[in-house]
Amino acid sequence: MSIKETGMKTEDLKIVLEKYHNGDISEQEEILLRDCFKYEEVPEKFRIDKEIFDFYLSEDKIPGPSVGFEERLMASTDSRNVRKGETVYRRLILSAAGIAAGILVILGSWFFITRSGSTKDTFTDPELAYAEVMKILYDVSYRLNQGTAALEPMNRMQEITAASLGTIKKSTVKIEENLKTLKYFTRDLEKLNLKEE
């Protein structure tokens, strides 16, 4: 059997489905919708909706909870309350273990600090130690100089920028001086124009 045999057109089915999804469907329309989706022949665009309604129809076949389910559930939660004594005992053991671990960490740290407090010289000859330190410092200095040498183009760019800004400042000062002169000139012209009127 197909949807057409139920008397519903595809456009009508689309409208009723939209009402169903919006929650604006009447009971008769919902029954009609369920009847339409009971059949195997459904247009391709309604396949997902058919699967949803098939699930709802099969849901009626799922048995409810067995007799005494709630009582067994309540009994199992009550038995957990009896185990509270075990939980308190377990918390005490965990607290004691945590305190013992803290004490071990403190003792281990104290032992490590007292043992490592006495440093030993690696060189017996002071001149050899001085030479080794100087070698390391020269190496560090060389590497720093290499790093700053890579920044030399940046220093050059900074110098060029500073020189350019200086030139621009000089030209700005010249322009301002010329504008002052022009301002005096325009003021004198305005005075002459006023006298002629």
Q: What is the pLDDT of residues 61-81, one digit of tens each?
A: 666 677 887 888 777 766 555
8 is a domain residue: yes
Q: What is the pLDDT of residues 102-123, one digit of tens each?
A: 999 998 888 888 776 566 667 7
127 is a domain residue: no
103 is a domain residue: no
pLDDT at 4: 53
50 is a domain residue: yes
46 is a domain residue: yes
Backbone φ and ψ of 60, nearest 5°: -65, -25
Number of domains in the chain: 1
Q: What is the pLDDT of residues 130-183, one digit of tens each?
A: 888 899 898 888 888 887 777 777 778 888 888 888 888 888 888 888 888 888
Structural domain for 41, as ranges: 3-59
Angle at 58 between CA 9 and CA 42, to 5 degrees: 25
pLDDT at 99: 92
Whole-model pTM: value is 0.30
Cβ atoms 2, 39 nearer than 8 A: yes
140 is a domain residue: no
Distance (Å, whole) CA 125 – CA 44: 93
126 is a domain residue: no
19 is a domain residue: yes
Q: What is the pLDDT of residues 50-61, one digit of tens each?
A: 777 777 766 666
